[in-house]
Chain A
Amino acid sequence: MIETDVLVIGAGPAGSSAAKHAAKGGAKVILIDKKSEIGSPKRCAEGISNNGLENLGITPNPKYIAKKIDGCRLVSPSGTDVWLTTEEIELPETGYTLERKVFDKFMAMDAAREGAEIKIKTLAKSLKKEGDSVILTCEHMGESFEIKAKIIIAADGPESHVSRWAGLKNVTKAKNMESGIQFEMCGVEFERENIIEFYFGSCAPGGYAWIFPKDDDIANVGLAVIAEDTDKSAYEHLKEFVANCPATQNAQAVELNVGGDPVGGLVKDLYGDNILVCGDAAGQVNPLTGGGIISGMNGGMYAGQVAARSIEEGDYSSKFLKEYEEIVDKELGKEMHKYLKVKEYALSLPDDELDSIADAFQDMDFEKISTTEIVKNLVKVSPKALLKLGKLI
């Protein structure tokens, strides 16, 4: 039987980050993924913030940066738009669109260079506890085998089988799982360059639609819906959106991407005896935007670091591993809770209220943007909307 200190399941951004930091901390690490090609197919709009990578100690490599982003455009159901770009306002942060198929591979390579052993096309099938270890049954091209580990890190993305096999109570309710769908398109006509666009309202019930540019006329054009909130499939919504949106009417799809995005906040159990959970599997996703690359990699880093310390101490108990939850709550949890509230508010607004808010913000002087200014504007357009916000916060 293969034996290791730390076994990471899933080589997405979260798992690769966990493997890298566990290896860096001195542990013997194996990282498995069922895919033939790490990072492919992509299930992502590929947007990240500028300092996200730098805060993780990663210098962005031009090989996986598709485009630099200078701001965003928010579009209400009637088409009224609000621009938040470096032209209008000094933004606290800007960002990039990535080439995830390259990025995810590079992150796994970083883990390998720290000493992690990678097994691709290796599917985790089941889990059992044995003494103070865990035994994972895997399958590789028809062959079944076992890996014995002192600690497993579940980074298996939105599927999140592993933590549930371990008995942790991490169920993603249907109302918290966005159904995401996206075309990568060419022939997209941008009003301004280097701007990511968000479209709100009934075009994407429970979520929003987006256009994230990747090159002069190339973009990820997608949306996410909550299935319970609509009678149409995500795909039908996307086809309608693409046909109606001026930017994409003449565009051609070259790729179709689908995927679930857990947007309900952190899962209940982030750890247990011999196990840590990170990334989408742990709900480490911004509930408002659905963005989970950077937060998942941060979660992965904390998990890898705590796992390495636990190996060093020879203590793999949930008591020792609890430190991970404390770090995650402090570094990610508080922020996520805030975004969850804002999302509840935003989703409670019908199309006409979204329109009147967008109208009011059109005339706003962004030089003077401040919370009081925003609240003043909200009072003007929709006392009802403000009341909702007040109740939530």
Chain B
Amino acid sequence: MIVKDWCSYCGECAGICPKNIIEVKEYSLVFDEKECSRCEICVKACPLNALEME
């Protein structure tokens, strides 16, 4: 997952991730890429369009 630098770490993506694999630190997002099923629900929901699937 590409996290754009305008992400504001609000955590909405983490909340709707069906696999619960997005860790939201204060100033970074960490995806457990191995577990990601590439459903892109997070990409679609981001209020700032800050996520892009690689």
Contact = CB atoms under 8 A, between A and B. Distances in A.
Partners in one complex: yes
Interface of A: 34-36, 41, 43, 121, 123, 125, 157-161, 164-165, 171-174, 177, 179-181, 227-228, 233-235, 256, 258-260, 262
Given A164-B20, A171-B18, A174-B16, A259 B10 contact: yes
B41 interface: yes
Contact of B45 (A36, A164, A227): A227
12 contacts: A123-B26, A174-B45, A177-B45, A179-B46, A227-B45, A234-B47, A258-B12, A258-B48, A260-B12, A260-B15, A260-B45, A260-B47
A174 B47 contact: no
Contact of B25 (A123, A157, A234, A260): A123
A11 B11 CA distance: 15
B24 interface: yes
Contacts of A123: 25-26
A179 B20 contact: no
Given A34-B25, A158-B11, A177 B47 contact: no
Contacts of B45: 174, 177, 179, 227, 260
Identify the 10 closest CB pairs spanning chains A and B, nearest first.
A260-B12, A234-B47, A159-B11, A179-B47, A158-B15, A227-B45, A159-B14, A259-B10, A233-B49, A258-B47
Interface of B: 8, 10-12, 14-16, 18, 20, 23-26, 41, 44-49
Given A161-B20, A174-B45, A259-B47, 15 more contacts: A34-B25, A36-B26, A43-B10, A123-B26, A157-B15, A159-B15, A159-B24, A160-B15, A165-B20, A179-B12, A233-B46, A234-B48, A258-B10, A260-B10, A260-B12
Nearest to A262: B15
B15 A172 contact: yes
B16 A173 contact: yes
Contacts of B26: 34-36, 121, 123
Contacts of A160: 15
Contacts of A228: 44
Q: Which of A43, A228, A258, A262 has the most B CB atoms < 10 Å from its CB?
A: A258
A233 B25 contact: no
A233 B7 CA distance: 13
A177 B8 CA distance: 17
B48 A233 contact: yes
Nearest to B45: A227
Contacts of B48: 181, 233-235, 258
A258 B48 CA distance: 8
